[in-house]
Structure 1
Amino acid sequence: MPAIRSLLVAILPLLASVAAHREPKTPKEIEVQRALQAAAYHCAPAVAEFTAARKRSWAQKVLAGRPSLPGYEELFASGTYNDMIGAAPHGDQTFMECSPVRDTQIQNNSCVLTPVVTEGPYHHKAGHPIRQNIAELEDGLLLLLDIGVIDVETCKPLPNVLVDIWQANATGFYAGHPVPAPHLVNEKPQVGGKRAGLLTAYPRSNDDETFLRGAWPTDANGVAQFTTIFPGYYTGRATHIHTKVYPTWTTLPNETFTSHHLAHVGQFFFDDDINIRIDNMHPYTDNPIRYTYGRTRNWRDSLNIFQDSHGPEGEYNPVFKLDLLGGVLSQGLMGYITMAINASASLDNYWQG
């Protein structure tokens, strides 16, 4: 741990010149990102146990006070909780040079420095409710999210930081943005280039809608949990969920928040294989572009956001680790991921494109 702190002491003075950017571009910025990423790799063993402990806690919460239910090994899909068994690393073997290979299940999302990427055009700087259940009345596949946040400087969980998330509904629309601008109703997606597949962002024309938006502070164990639905897709973008992290914030009388300290902006993704199965479930089959442009795969994500989310060395995994909530997919999913952030960073809290 002293070596990590020494590394961070050397690079923290450079963060002021990097924090305002959405992704590292200059050689200096990339050097800072790589140094932080290297420091985060030392946290990988701690993150593996962090994830297992969260799964254990969640299973116990589900079963608490219900003696008629079987244990989690029988209630949930086979193998869901195998990684809760504390197994020692298998020699010096590593996965992607950062996650220890265990005899149980490899937690390959334990490369944990989360790259900063664009927030996108659909964030509402004001009006995100502080709540755990963000689904409101939106129909879709149940998705429970378990988002851990650790401090890259200490490899320890970060309690009481506000995790803000927002996403599209099952048919690809964001709350507050139901239709395109009138003069762009017949616009076609961009062909070729970095913006391939994208349309002009829909304007905010309904200020009352708040579905699939919300923020919640991490608990004493550095975890924020949400109830939502599996997100839908829209042209040009891979299926994703947006996130911001605020170390400090002020709660407003209407149960929303304001903050002047934004430490992280990022996006989470899902494996294409699970997307393919959910594409065939209602109401995802009602997506208006299902039979025209279709869903954009991760590797074709516009603006290189999926690729950038892997970090300069391509070794961070921004994809949720998903477990079935029951024996079949239609019963829902539980998604786990861990972010490692620098809580002392300060980013501009607005979309920069």
Structure 2
Amino acid sequence: MKFFASLLVLGALFTSVLGHAEPTEQEIAEAKARKDNFAYICAPQIKAYHAMRKRSAQQQQVLGGATDAATMFLEENLQAGMDGQKLLGCTEIDDDTTIRNHTCVLANEVTQGPYYHIAGHPIRQNMAEDQLGLPFYIDIGILDVNTCEPVSNVLVDIWHANTTGHYAGHPDPDPDLIWEGPAPYGERKGLLTKFPRWNQHETWLRAAWPTNKFGVSQFTSIFPGYYTGRATHIHIKVHTTWEPLANGTFLTSRLIHTGQLFVEDNLNGIIDKIHPYTENPIRNKWGRTRNWDDSLKIFQSQPGSMFDIQKVGGVLQQGLRGHITVGVDPKFDFDRGSANQVPYTTHKE
């Protein structure tokens, strides 16, 4: 049976526990081994897991339901599709050896970027607010690399740029840098300086939602835009403990992953031609950055972090649905100080 999937294995290779020393070489080696073996050992579960989620979405589409967060993803249908149905994804995978070695399997924790807002991401599924764009229904499944089982009740936290490449709260550059171009060399090559946070209350395209009993967290958003030096991407964090706040957001005390998720370049190029993506201010100035040319080299170092994309209806403008499976190690705990409370970096990521 052929297996089509977008699979993200998040090896906690550089983790540290709050108040404890950095992981030992043995711990790092063990984490890497779990990551390397995950797709091989868990292949049957991964196949069934993808089939279950895709079948649920396909059933809802056939039923002709409304396209909102409550109806696009029906939990009662998730157990359907456990028959190993063929799936669409980043690459066709024919055997377990390929599943283990293919670029759909990746690792490495990456930067959260400078636009993460502590206590600024509402606990919700519909994250678009007033932002216009192509509807994008996001399905993220979380699996335990130790057991191959879904991880329920962890908080999946995501955020991304709008159609013109801006993040909520950061609409404009510093006035002194309005004519700044991409850095020509160094670690910031291709990037602009971070846009300041001018608005403390904007929350569009930011959300967090706990995984259900199937280890799945789902969101309704718009397809993300791009900005200088970066390929189209969505940021993700996975928290195991969190405290809801009165304003609808949360604080976290235990983080097990920080990463970024990508989309195939061919699809990005098609969407670039659709309004309002045609209004991106750098479209005719510097142009978009392809995955392989991402200034932070994130996609290059983890090429399997790509959504499995399907059209919702008969035409692209009806929206897209993206699935991805994330393998995490719940035993690890990132240093909360470095993960959530350090000052933001000085360059736009």
Q: Give the TM-score of the pair, scaled to structure 1.
A: 0.79
Residues of 1 paired with 2:308 and 2:320: CA distance? Answer: 10
Residues of 1 paired with 2:198 and 2:27: CA distance? Answer: 37
Counterpart of 2:33 in 1: which secondary structure?
Answer: helix
Counterpart of 2:231 in 1: which secondary structure?
Answer: coil
Counterpart of 1:98 in 2: which secondary structure?
Answer: helix
Contact 2:161 2:205 in 1 (8 A): yes
Counterpart of 1:263 in 2: which secondary structure?
Answer: strand
Residues of 2 paired with 1:45 and 1:295: CA distance? Answer: 38
Q: Does 1:166 align with 2:159?
A: yes
Q: What letter matches 2:305 in structure 1? A: P
Residues of 2 paired with 1:211 and 1:44: CA distance? Answer: 36
2:299 is matched with 306
Counterpart of 1:233 in 2: which secondary structure?
Answer: coil
Aligned residues: 304
Residues of 1 paired with 2:121 and 2:234: CA distance? Answer: 15
1:270 is matched with 263
Counterpart of 2:209 in 1: which secondary structure?
Answer: strand
Q: CA deviation at 1:85?
A: 5.5
C-alpha spacing 1:222/1:308, structure 2 compared with 1 (3 Å): same
Q: Does 1:243 align with 2:240?
A: no
Q: CA deviation at 1:217?
A: 0.3
Residues of 1 paired with 2:298 and 2:149: CA distance? Answer: 27
Counterpart of 1:130 in 2: which secondary structure?
Answer: coil
Contact 2:36 2:100 in 1 (8 A): no
Q: Does 1:324 align with 2:324?
A: no
Contact 1:55 1:84 in 2 (8 A): no
1:38 is matched with 36
Residues of 1 paired with 2:107 and 2:163: CA distance? Answer: 26
Residues of 2 paired with 1:321 and 1:190: CA distance? Answer: 33
Query: Cα deviations across residues 297-327 of structure 1 (Å, max 9, x unaligned)?
Result: 00010121112234xxxxxx10000011111
C-alpha spacing 1:176/1:50, structure 2 compared with 1 (3 Å): same
Q: For structure 1, which segment, 214-223 or 29-38, has the greater mean C-alpha deviation from structure 2 after superposition?
A: 29-38
1:19 is matched with 15
Counterpart of 1:276 in 2: which secondary structure?
Answer: helix
Residues of 1 paired with 2:140 and 2:85: CA distance? Answer: 23
Contact 1:18 1:29 in 2 (8 A): no
Q: CA deviation at 1:195?
A: 2.8
Contact 1:117 1:309 in 2 (8 A): no
Counterpart of 2:192 in 1: which secondary structure?
Answer: coil
**Alignment of structure 1 residues 172-183 onto 2, 5 Å:** 172-183=165-176
Counterpart of 1:163 in 2: which secondary structure?
Answer: strand
2:99 is matched with 98
C-alpha spacing 1:170/1:52, structure 2 compared with 1 (3 Å): same
2:329 is matched with 342
Q: CA deviation at 1:60?
A: 3.2
Contact 2:157 2:237 in 1 (8 A): yes
Q: What letter matches 2:221 in structure 1? A: T
Gapped regions of structure 2 (runs ≥ 5): 1-10, 66-80, 87-92
C-alpha spacing 1:204/1:326, structure 2 compared with 1 (3 Å): same
2:143 is matched with 150
Contact 2:153 2:240 in 1 (8 A): yes
Residues of 1 paired with 2:61 and 2:272: CA distance? Answer: 28
Residues of 1 paired with 2:220 and 2:260: CA distance? Answer: 17
Residues of 1 paired with 2:237 and 2:258: CA distance? Answer: 5
2:202 is matched with 209
Counterpart of 2:95 in 1: which secondary structure?
Answer: strand
Residues of 2 paired with 1:93 and 1:238: CA distance? Answer: 29
Identity, in percent, stands at 49
Contact 1:114 1:339 in 2 (8 A): no
Residues of 2 paired with 1:177 and 1:296: CA distance? Answer: 20
Q: Does 1:125 align with 2:118?
A: yes
Query: Cα deviations across residues 191-240 of structure 1 (Å, max 9, x unaligned)?
Result: 24443210001011100110000000000000000000010000000000
Q: CA deviation at 1:28?
A: 7.0
Query: Cα deviations across residues 227-264 of structure 1 (Å, max 9, x unaligned)?
Result: 00010000000000000000111111221111110110
Gapped regions of structure 1 (runs ≥ 5): 1-11, 67-82, 101-107, 311-316
The two structures, once aligned, show a CA RMSD in angstroms of 2.9
Residues of 2 paired with 1:61 and 1:43: CA distance? Answer: 28
Q: For structure 1, which segment, 241-250 or 182-191, has the greater mean C-alpha deviation from structure 2 after superposition?
A: 182-191
Q: What letter matches 1:214 in structure 2? A: A
Query: Cα deviations across residues 69-95 of structure 1 (Å, max 9, x unaligned)?
Result: xxxxxxxxxxxxxx976369xxx9527
Q: CA deviation at 1:97?
A: 2.2
